[in-house]
Each structure stands twice: as structure tokens, then as C-alpha cells.
Amino acid sequence: MEELRQRVQLERRLIARLKTANIRFTDAQIERIWAIVSAHQAGLSIRKIAGATGLSSSRIHQLLNAPEAKEIPVWLIQLRQSSGGSGRKKKAEQPEPETEIRCDRFRSGVAYWV
């Protein structure tokens, strides 16, 4: 019985670790797209962006045309307007526990770009 309990606990820890890793991976992909879009909007050529990221020029084109890349300017503009462009966080309600880590990473990424 004790062995079964330990096995279940181990599986729960492993699943939690995998979920956390998946969230971090997704966040990193989004952050990369933000950086690429920002660099392109600032005037950096696609070739230079490709060289800096280790991606091909065609992949940079794909990422710049991805739905995530097209959504970024809209919500950044809205965020800048709502925060007065200061980049400082306003007080808000507490996030749900399962999204707390993701929200913290999201807010720090947004603060960087605002």
C-alpha cells in the first residue's frame, strides 16, 4: 500500500513538472515572437533578425505573419493607453492559482515592451 501511495505522489510531481515546463515553453515562444515583432517594427531587417535568432529568413516571415504577431500591437496599444504608458502595473484582482506563474511572466514581459 505504501509503495502505491509513493508511486502516485511521484506521478503527481512529474505531471506538475511537465505542466510547468509546458507553460514556460509556451511563454518562451510568445516572448520570441514579441522580440521579433518589436525588432522588425524598430527597423531591423529580416536578415539581421534571422541571424540574431538563428532562424531562417522564411521562418521570420512566418512568425511575423502569425496570428500571435498580429495581435501584439493591438493589446500593447490598449495596455499603454490604460496604464498611461508608464509600464507600471496597476493594482488588479488576484489571478487564479493555476495561472499565477503565467500571469507573472506575462506581466514582466509586457512591462519590458511597454
Structure-block grid coordinates of residue 71: 495581435
Do 113 and 80 form a contact (C-beta atoms < 8 A)?
A: no
Do 60 and 53 form a contact (C-beta atoms < 8 A)?
A: yes
Do 107 and 87 form a contact (C-beta atoms < 8 A)?
A: no
Q: What is the pLDDT of residue 73?
A: 61
Q: What is the pTM of this model?
A: 0.57
Is the pLDDT reported for residue 79 higher than 60? yes
| C-alpha–C-alpha distance, residues 77 and 45, integer Å | 23
* Number of domains the chain is built from: 1
Tell me what the pLDDT averaged over the chain comes to.
Answer: 77
Domain span at residue 34 reads 2-113
Tell me the per-residue pLDDT of 35-74, one tens digit each, with 9 for 90 and over. Answer: 898 888 889 999 999 999 999 999 999 999 988 887 776 6
